Structure 1
Amino acid sequence: MKSILVLGGTGTTGRRIARRLSADGLPVRTASRTGGDVRFDLDDPTTWGPALDGAAAMYLLEPALRPGVDRRNRIPRLVSEAVAAGVTRLVLLSAYGVGGADDSHPLKSAERAVRGSGVDWTILQPDWFAQNFSESFWLPDVRSGTLAAPTGDGRTPFVDAEDIAAVAAAALTEDRHHGRTYQLTGPAALSFGEALDVIADATGRTLRHLDVPAAAFADRMTEEGVPAAAARLLTGLLVDVREGRGATVSDGVRQALGRPARSFEQFVGEAAAAGHWA
């Protein structure tokens, strides 16, 4: 039986997609550099063929930035190999705002490759994940009580990864999403300070957002081992929040699923109950 291949299958979105597909009784395989059902490494094309074998649909994404890696050609090459191997449906996790980025943005070439693949495709462009507060980048800062970021009072509509997974699972299994690009956001834009207030109310913790200069933030990241190029990219995205870019709320979740996006308050309530900030 043909299967659905989920790249990054142990990550924030991948494991949620796989869980949904498995719950529906669908044949799904997770792939990642570590863990998952099959090993897959975008830096190692020898791992691609075994992972693609028997796959009819694939969820694909670019992993975290690593030094010395040119990301511009990896997804296009993978798309070509996937189609040649028999994959007939592609769902790409891109990022909010890629449509307005210049051609040097690595996800631009990924989107072009998927759109030009000759098979069914869907592109997801999510905003900042709400789970960054509970599972990823900002969790250590939240636990410490102070989240330092160069965002000022700028707002952004954090999107719940559960919504991203729900849209991805639908796109992997339903014909009606072919040729669609969904901008995925939460239902309301919040500042980092406001987001921390919601978490504080749910957990009883004392939390604050500390606005810091962009250069100092980038320097701190590089001191912690983040590659300089990645530090500059992330800092620039946070400065965009400060300057009001990317604050627009989209109805992509409703377009794809016929229901509103989950609120940040819903996400926080569930994350708090699960003990993420304990």
Structure 2
Amino acid sequence: MTMRFLITGGTGTTGSRVATALADQGVSVRVASRTPAPGTRQVRFDWADAATHGAALSGVDGVYLVPPIGDAAPARLMVPFLERALEAGVRRFVLLSSSAIAEGDPGAGEVHEALRRLAPEWAVLRPSWFMQNFVTPGHLHGESIRAADEIVTATGRGRVAFVDADDIAAVAVRALTDERSHNAVHLLTGPKALGYTDVAKALSEATGREIRHRSIPVADFRERLTATGIPEAFAHVLAAMDDAIAHGAEDRVDPTVERVTGRPPRDFADFAAAHTAAWRR
């Protein structure tokens, strides 16, 4: 049976990869976008505009759910959408959450709880921090590396098992297309837990420049975030996550990527070596 999937966040870091991988497999894909490009798989979709939801869901069997960027309380938009999708006959849902957010926590954790309670077929992805955060244009870390040869966090000596977005997408595709629904929570990490000082060392080796990690107080980091235009409520969330890292919350490695996809997750040193052009001034 041919299945059709709606990919929210379909032009973003993981959504674009999920959409491409599904299309490469010959699967019918509909990519959600607030400004769809003519002649593409894109369809108009805005989380805040319920009038765009019906057409996006028409004939869809499964949905990849990506919370709206920068929204500290996405459940108010996403749970009504989930209920509407179920009424429209959608059966399978895969939610992109975060390793820092447990079921029922404010934000994506509330969507996680609703999904597990309401959907007949579901999976929740809880990835660690993306390796792509260091190369995505406009992201604080990448800009700081290019401009000042430094990474600024509030993580202290805390460690994170950074994960490649390609590995996240690979798990998402399996969760969407496997004949048997996963009905599971997938913690997704890279192969090693690294401190940001370790990351700076790997970037230094890859670029041939001396790149440093500078840890600052949480309040200072929050102000740094808001100065870049990040909404204050979301800056509080991000700063709190850095503080949690400092206290060991992300110092863990999980085998799920290899178990689901059949291949090991990408190592950060390999990622850094492949992206040196991203840090040129």
Q: In the TM superposition, what are the counterparts of 1:32-111 in structure 2 within 5 Å?
A: 32-35=33-36, 37-66=42-71, 70-99=73-102, 103=104, 105-111=106-112
Contact 2:162 2:194 in 1 (8 A): yes
Contact 1:171 1:177 in 2 (8 A): yes
Question: Would the alpha carbon gap of residues 97 and 213 (structure 1) be closer, same or farther in structure 2, given more than 3 Å must change?
Answer: closer
In 2, Cα distance between the equivalents of 1:126 and 1:164? 7
Q: Does 1:167 align with 2:152?
A: no
Q: In the TM superposition, what are the counterparts of 1:78-227 in structure 2 within 5 Å?
A: 78-99=81-102, 103=104, 105-135=106-136, 136-144=139-147, 145-227=149-231
Deviation at 1:29?
1.4
Question: Would the alpha carbon gap of residues 57 and 217 (structure 1) be closer, same or farther in structure 2, given more than 3 Å must change?
Answer: same
In 2, Cα distance between the equivalents of 1:270 and 1:39? 34
Of residues 233-242 and 200-209 in structure 1, the stretch that sits farther from structure 2 once superposed is 200-209
Q: In the TM superposition, what are the counterparts of 1:4-15 in structure 2 within 5 Å?
A: 4-15=5-16
Deviation at 1:56?
0.9
For these two proteins, the number of residue pairs brought into alignment is 272
In 2, Cα distance between the equivalents of 1:151 and 1:211? 6
What do residues 146-184 of structure 1 show as CA deviations (whole Å, max 9, x unaligned)?
A: 121111121110011000000001111103342111000
Question: Would the alpha carbon gap of residues 149 and 118 (structure 1) be closer, same or farther in structure 2, given more than 3 Å must change?
Answer: closer
Q: In the TM superposition, what are the counterparts of 1:224-235 in structure 2 within 5 Å?
A: 224-235=228-239
In 1, Cα distance between the equivalents of 2:216 and 2:205? 24
Q: What does residue 261 of structure 1 align with?
A: 265
In 2, Cα distance between the equivalents of 1:130 and 1:228? 24
Contact 2:6 2:32 in 1 (8 A): yes
In 1, Cα distance between the equivalents of 2:274 and 2:193? 19
Q: What does residue 277 of structure 1 align with?
A: 279
Question: Would the alpha carbon gap of residues 129 and 87 (structure 1) be closer, same or farther in structure 2, given more than 3 Å must change?
Answer: same
In 1, Cα distance between the equivalents of 2:243 and 2:99? 15
Q: Which structure 1 residue ranges, 5 or more long, are not aligned? A: none
Question: Would the alpha carbon gap of residues 174 and 52 (structure 1) be closer, same or farther in structure 2, given more than 3 Å must change?
Answer: same
For 1:27, the aligned partner's letter is S
Deviation at 1:89?
0.9
Contact 1:75 1:113 in 2 (8 A): no
Secondary structure of the corresponding residue to residue 275 of structure 2 = helix
In 1, Cα distance between the equivalents of 2:35 and 2:252? 36
TM-score relative to the length of structure 1 = 0.92
In 1, Cα distance between the equivalents of 2:234 and 2:155? 17
In 2, Cα distance between the equivalents of 1:243 and 1:165? 28
RMSD after superposition = 1.7
In 1, Cα distance between the equivalents of 2:218 and 2:109? 25
Contact 2:10 2:16 in 1 (8 A): yes
Q: Which structure 2 residue ranges, 5 or more long, are not aligned? A: none
Contact 2:15 2:66 in 1 (8 A): no
For 2:78, the aligned partner's letter is I
Question: Would the alpha carbon gap of residues 146 and 245 (structure 1) be closer, same or farther in structure 2, given more than 3 Å must change?
Answer: same
For 2:67, the aligned partner's letter is E
TM-score relative to the length of structure 2 = 0.91
What do residues 4-30 of structure 1 show as CA deviations (whole Å, max 9, x unaligned)?
A: 111101000011111111111111111
Contact 1:83 1:119 in 2 (8 A): no
Task: Kindly report structure 1 stretches of 4+ aligned residues shifted beyond 4 Å.
Answer: none
Deviation at 1:250?
1.1
